[in-house]
Amino acid sequence: MPELPEVQTVVSDLNRKIKGDVITGFWSDFPSTIKNATLENFKKKIIGRKILGARRIGKNIFIDLSGEKTLYIHLKMTGHLLVKSKNLKVKSYFDDKVNSYIHHIWNLGKDKTLEFSDVRKFAKIILDDTKKINNLKEIKALGIDAMDSKFNLKKFEKILEKSKQKPIGIVLMEQESIAGIGNIYRSEILFDAGINPFRKSSSLSKKETKKIFNSIKKILKKAIKMRGTSDSDYRDTSGAPGNFHKVLKVYRKHGQKCLKCDTIILRKKIAQRSVFYCSKCQK
């Protein structure tokens, strides 16, 4: 599932490529993705609206439209958005198989489209009033965004205080506590901080807490700069893979030697999800 850096990459791309465009048509061969509306009703409500901009909360994408309407899109496991133009003359990634599972198309004028590729068809699209979108159950339940300026060390300490008995590897993944961090970045953050994912939050010293907090910001910023991690199906709006997989230290490196100490990287389950770590470097 795309995490914060991947979703931020998409949002930044959308603001650069389609902000100001008008929706002139919509096609879908899998309308079940569209929640709380029939396909015809959805089309009627979005055609003619101008795209004001895109934004993100956690792993969720919001595309604000004129007339105080907002499209809420969750990419889920394999979804990704592609911006295509008929004027594109350079060789692109759009012909790659991973980009070929198109189930929804927004027409933007005569020569541009926003297309939704989703091989497993788990994604979700909701249209609602802009002022109501934050009141959706799944959005209201989210904690503070990991890249929010209000997410500071003091706020992080308070989150850990409420989760004393939980392993830090679980806390970082709980979207109701901190929104945006998933399996990839949880492992990379804790390796960078030198903290074992099975350590209970109550066992962390102030110094260790600060290390984890700094690693959250550091790793996510770097991943955003490198346009995310293409672990499986994630692609940016040009259909291109992210580059952060080139610098992964532990995620999916189990059985390989740690780059710092040569100890074999481990893979274990924590709350039914795999976590990757070095037993020597992470205490």
> Per-residue pLDDT tens for 22-40?
999 999 999 999 999 999 9
Is residue 161 part of the annotated active site? The answer reads no
How confident is the model at residue 255, as a pLDDT?
Answer: 98
Q: What is the pLDDT of residues 259-271, one digit of tens each?
A: 999 999 999 999 9
Rounded Cα–Cα distance for residues 262 and 260 (Å): 6
Ordered structural domains, the chain, with CATH:
4-140 (3.20.190.10), 144-277 (1.10.8.50)
Q: Is 211 a catalytic residue?
A: no
Closest of 124, 102, 125 to residue 114, by C-alpha? 102
In a 3-state reduction of DSSP, which class is residue 39?
helix
- Asked about 16 being catalytic, the answer comes back as no
Among the listed residues 2, 167, 197, 241, the single catalytic one is 2
Residue 127 has pLDDT above 80, yes or no: yes
Query: Given this model, what pLDDT does residue 89 score?
Result: 59
Instruction: Say if residue 90's pLDDT is above 80.
Output: no
Active-site residue (options: 49, 56, 59, 253): 59
pLDDT at 140 over 70: yes
251 in helix, strand or coil? coil
Question: Cα 95 from chain centroid?
Answer: 23
Residue 87's pLDDT band (cuts 50, 70, 90): confident
CA 179 to chain centre: 10
For the record, the structure tokens of 161 come out as 């205080």
Of 3, 6, 115, 188, which is the active-site residue?
A: 3
Closest C-alpha among 62, 125, 113, 42 to residue 84: 113
| Structure-model confidence comparison of residues 175 and 89, the more confident one | 175
Q: Indicate if 2 belongs to the active site.
A: yes
Confidence (pTM): 0.95
Q: List, in sequence order, every beta strand (DSSP E) within the chain.
A: 23-28, 34-35, 51-57, 60-65, 69-74, 79-85, 102-108, 112-118, 124-129, 144-145, 178-179, 266-270, 273-277
The pLDDT of residue 92 is 81
Secondary-structure breakdown of the chain: helix, strand, coil percentages, each rounded to the nearest 5: 30, 25, 45
What is the structure's pLDDT at 62?
98
| 239 contacts 93 by C-beta, under 8 angstroms | yes
Beta bridge partners of 28: 104
pLDDT at 86: 82
pLDDT tens profile 109-124: 989 999 999 999 999 9
Handedness of CA 19, 23, 29, 34 (dihedral sign): positive
- Section 224-234 average pLDDT: 94
The Cα–Cα gap between 112 and 125 comes to 20
Given a cut of 80, whether residue 91 has pLDDT beyond it is no
> Where do runs of H (alpha helix) occur along 141-182?
153-162, 168-171
Paired with 270 in beta bridges are 273
Question: Which of 112, 78, 124 lies closest to 235, judged by CA?
Answer: 78
- Look at residue 283 and tell me whether its pLDDT is greater than 90: yes
Mean pLDDT of 67-79: 96
Please calculate the CA angle 122-39-57 and round it to the nearest 5 degrees: 50
Alpha carbon dihedral 214, 215, 219, 225, in 10-degree steps, equals: 20
